[in-house]
Structure 1
Amino acid sequence: MNYIKLLVSVAFIAFSTISYSQSKVAHIDSQSLISQMPEVKEAQAQLEKLQKTYQTEIEASMKEYQTKSQTYSADAQNQTEVTNQARAKELQGMEQNIQQYQQTAAQDIQQKQADLLRPLIEKAKEAIQKVAREQGFDYVIDATPGGAVILSDGKDLMADVKKELGF
């Protein structure tokens, strides 16, 4: 009888120690958090302004290209073959310049987006780490849709991190 009590006591202590030593895990959808940060609106406004600037310039170049193309087509019969070839080469150069400018614009916009988001991502990461440490979590898993969610039974830190960020 005493042997059974001793065995039960040892088993209880062993299971208590095992469960006590387990890591605390929480999760948060960091993409959702960042999209809700007030600073994102300013970043989006800057990106939209840059996109509109590029779009306006591209549209102006396209209009100039179309106007020249129509003018050259209408006047082609009255010009020499050398002139028509030079005009065709000019139009081809314009078209290449427009395409190159579109690619440059897309790259610039992408770079600007990365530059604007980098400090927001860092700020969110620091807030998540601070809240997780304050609440004693060992691991925080990013539960962003499409991301690898290992465990979502842990506490969701979204409300606490938003509070830490002041929104």
Structure 2
Amino acid sequence: MKTKLLILFSLVVISFSSLAQDQKFAYVNSDSVLRSMPAYKVQMKSYESYVKQLQTQLQTKQTSLQQKFAEYQQNGGDWLPNIRQEKEQELTALDQEIKTFAQTSQLNMQRKQQELLEPLLEEVQTAIEAIAKAESITFVLPDQTFLYSKTDYDITGKVIAKLTGN
């Protein structure tokens, strides 16, 4: 019984070791690949323009709040109680609107960035797959996975060359 179990274990180890020898691994720095693409720079300019628009809108709302608050501080003592209460409610509503706008803007910026980068990430993925197939690579991993790796297994340059036509 022990002999059979030992033979079975040996066969499993031998088959795993031969299977591992047939595998070819590589890694890629997708971030470097993405940043090397001319389209990335165009998309990032579009994103930065979008962010700037949102920041301008937020700044306009904050300036309006500051002006209304300054007016309230300056003239609030002279107003009738019902006018003062109305102004306080207006300030509170404007403050809440600014907070909501800021939160919504954060979500919109994330969506916009994803929308702009998604087609580029698909191009990167396609290029990685093409190189992996051409070089019979079984697994391509992100370079952040490793604490150490030989540069022989880095296909980042090949992916960049494929995408940029160099």
Same fold (TM over 0.5): yes
From the superposition, tell whether residues 36 and 73 of structure 1 become closer, same or farther in structure 2 (CA, over 3 Å): same
**What SS does the aligned partner of 2:23 have?**
coil
2:79 maps to 79
2:161 maps to 163
Deviation at 1:99, TM superposition (A): 0.9
RMSD (Å), alpha carbons: 2.1
- Structure 1: runs of 5+ lacking an equivalent: 1-13
Is the contact between residue 30 and residue 142 of structure 1 (CA under 8 Å) also seen in structure 2? Answer: yes
**What SS does the aligned partner of 1:23 have?**
coil
1:7 maps to none
Question: Which one has the largest radius of gyration?
Answer: 1
In the TM superposition, 1:12-27 aligns within 5 A as: 18=18, 21-27=21-27
The one-letter code sitting in structure 2 at the alignment partner of 1:127 is A
1:75-127 CA-to-partner distances (Å, cap 9, x unmatched) read 11111111111111100000000111111111111100001111111100110
In the TM superposition, 1:113-152 aligns within 5 A as: 113-144=113-144, 148-149=145-146, 152=149
| Distance in 2 separating the partners of 1:19 and 1:57 | 59
- Structure 2: runs of 5+ lacking an equivalent: 1-13
In the TM superposition, 1:6-155 aligns within 5 A as: 18=18, 21-144=21-144, 148-149=145-146, 152-153=149-150, 155=153
TM-score by length of 2: 0.82
Between the aligned residues of both structures, percent identity stands at 26
From the superposition, tell whether residues 151 and 130 of structure 1 become closer, same or farther in structure 2 (CA, over 3 Å): farther
Is the contact between residue 141 and residue 150 of structure 1 (CA under 8 Å) also seen in structure 2? Answer: no
**What SS does the aligned partner of 1:152 have?**
coil
Is the contact between residue 128 and residue 161 of structure 1 (CA under 8 Å) also seen in structure 2? Answer: yes
Count of residues paired in the alignment:
149
